[in-house]
């Protein structure tokens, strides 16, 4: 019996998902729980497993389409159920119309009404593709479909539009022509669009202010060198532990704004920004204040690995109360991070590296890094932000605190 494949609900507040790509093609066998397609939502990118074993007999939503949760996006059945191009069996052909001696009547129609007609006779088109073709005046008979059975996807239409635009400007772009330029146009990935929306919304929502402290990491380096058991925690784990302690002592930094109200969170859940080849995601270390440095380090590494493998669950990216981003891992000295809404602060970590410092009146080389706190001035005043960051700095430079952080 055929099994419908549904668009899953990847989190309580998620109402729709965008299909990024199909891992299986129509006609291919698939095992239960084997990755079937990849989706992107406001919360997470993930691979969706097959709900049953069999053969992928039909795809009802192409790559690039955004559909509501619980919509049927595909059907898994037996091999004999695969129809032409994986689509539903064609309806019985209607009897031919009676012969007529009248000359055929031809209606003149514009591109918006007629664009999809030639292609529709070959393969079924999604509403998204039809609408996009109408908006851009695309004749779908001129579009090469890359989907199953030559099916035309949203990406195919956008690529055609981009190529048409480049062709129209070919003379202007020809080398040697005055003012010539060369360009490649492609649609944003779903995650990139979501990031763009969230960053613009954050700038529009919060009154961003930044403060920066330079921290000596010599004591942290000594603590790492003295770590005798298991994997040596990274600098980020020590920073996260110090941030957790500072958040407990400064609850307003672990809060959020809800209209005219301030919501003080009773848990300290640290979001750790993870850079991916296709974007950025912020999985969350829950109850970080209750974890030791080693446990935080293990949690961060696990979340980062699963994020890059597209194996995060919705719960892994929900509930964050404060975010840490670590561009220092790429060599950046400092930056001015944008707040991850609805939080009210974010910490940017610069590269930990040897640099000149004055110690006891002498210039020496010490391991140092800049920590930058971005905060929402609607709720947090500069003095509060500086006291918070001073607590983080004091903890990271205190060997006794670092020793206790290993045991907690």
- CA torsion sign for 252, 253, 255, 256 is positive
Report in angstroms the alpha-carbon separations of 18 from 63, 124, 259, 339, 389: 8, 19, 30, 25, 39
Q: What's the 3-state SS for the chain?
A: CCEEEECCCCCCCCCEEEEEEECCCCCCEECCCCEEEEEECCCCEEEEECCCCEEEEEECCCCCCEEECCCEEEEEECHHHCCHHHCCCCCCCCCCCCCCCCCCCCCCCCHHHHCCHHHHCCCCCCHHHHHHHHHHCCCHHHCCCCCHHHCCCHHHHHHHHHHHHHHHCHHHHCCCCCCCCCCCCCCCCHHHHHHHHHHHHHHHHCCEEEEEEEEECHHHHHHHHCCCCCCCCCHHHHHHHHHHHHHHHCHHHHEEEECCEEEECCCCCEEECEEECCEEECCEECCHHHCCHHHHHHHHHHHHHHHHCCCCCHHHHCCCCEEEECHHHHCCCCCCCCCCCCECEEEEECCCEEEEEEECCEEEEEEEEEEEEEEECCCCCHHHHHHHHHHHHHHHCCHHHHHHHHHC
DSSP string for 50-77: PSS-EEEEEE-S-TT-EEETT-EEEEEE
Q: Provide the annotated active-site residues.
A: 377, 381
């Amino acid at each position: 019996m055929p099994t419908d494949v549904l668009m899953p609900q990847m989190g309580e507040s998620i109402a729709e998902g965008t299909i990024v790509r199909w891992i299986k093609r129509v006609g291919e066998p698939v095992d239960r729980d084997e990755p079937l397609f990849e989706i992107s939502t406001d919360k997470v990118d993930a691979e969706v497993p097959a709900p049953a074993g069999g053969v992928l007999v039909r795809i009802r939503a192409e790559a690039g389409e955004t559909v509501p949760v619980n919509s049927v996006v595909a059907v898994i059945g037996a091999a004999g159920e695969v129809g032409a191009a994986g689509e539903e069996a064609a309806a019985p052909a209607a009897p031919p119309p009676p012969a007529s001696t009248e000359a055929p009547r031809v209606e003149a129609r514009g591109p918006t009404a007629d664009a999809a007609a030639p292609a529709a006779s070959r393969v079924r088109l999604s509403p998204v593709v039809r609408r996009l073709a109408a908006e851009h005046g695309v004749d779908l008979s001129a579009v090469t479909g890359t989907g199953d059975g030559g099916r035309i996807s949203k990406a195919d239409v956008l690529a055609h539009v981009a190529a048409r635009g480049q062709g129209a400007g070919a003379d202007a772009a020809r080398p040697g022509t005055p003012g010539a330029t060369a360009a490649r146009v492609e649609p944003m990935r779903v995650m990139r669009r979501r990031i763009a929306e969230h960053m613009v919304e954050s700038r529009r929502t919060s009154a961003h202010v930044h403060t920066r402290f330079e921290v000596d990491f010599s004591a942290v380096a000594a603590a790492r060198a003295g770590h005798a058991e298991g994997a040596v925690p990274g600098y980020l784990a020590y920073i996260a532990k110090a941030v957790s302690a500072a958040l407990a002592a400064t609850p307003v930094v672990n809060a959020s704004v809800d209209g005219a109200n301030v919501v003080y969170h009773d848990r300290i859940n640290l979001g750790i920004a993870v850079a991916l080849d296709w974007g950025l995601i912020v999985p969350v270390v829950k109850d970080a204040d209750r974890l030791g440095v080693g446990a935080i380090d293990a949690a961060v590494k696990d979340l980062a690995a699963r994020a890059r493998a597209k194996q995060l669950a919705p719960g892994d990216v929900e509930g964050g109360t404060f975010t840490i981003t670590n561009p220092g891992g790429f060599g950046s000295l400092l930056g001015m991070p944008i707040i991850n809404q609805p939080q009210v602060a974010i910490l940017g970590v610069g590269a930990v590296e040897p640099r000149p410092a004055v110690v006891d009146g002498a210039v020496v080389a010490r391991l140092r890094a800049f920590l930058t706190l971005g905060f929402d001035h609607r709720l947090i005043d500069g003095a509060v932000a500086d006291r918070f960051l001073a607590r983080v700095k004091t903890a990271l430079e205190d060997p006794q605190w670092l020793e206790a952080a290993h045991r907690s």
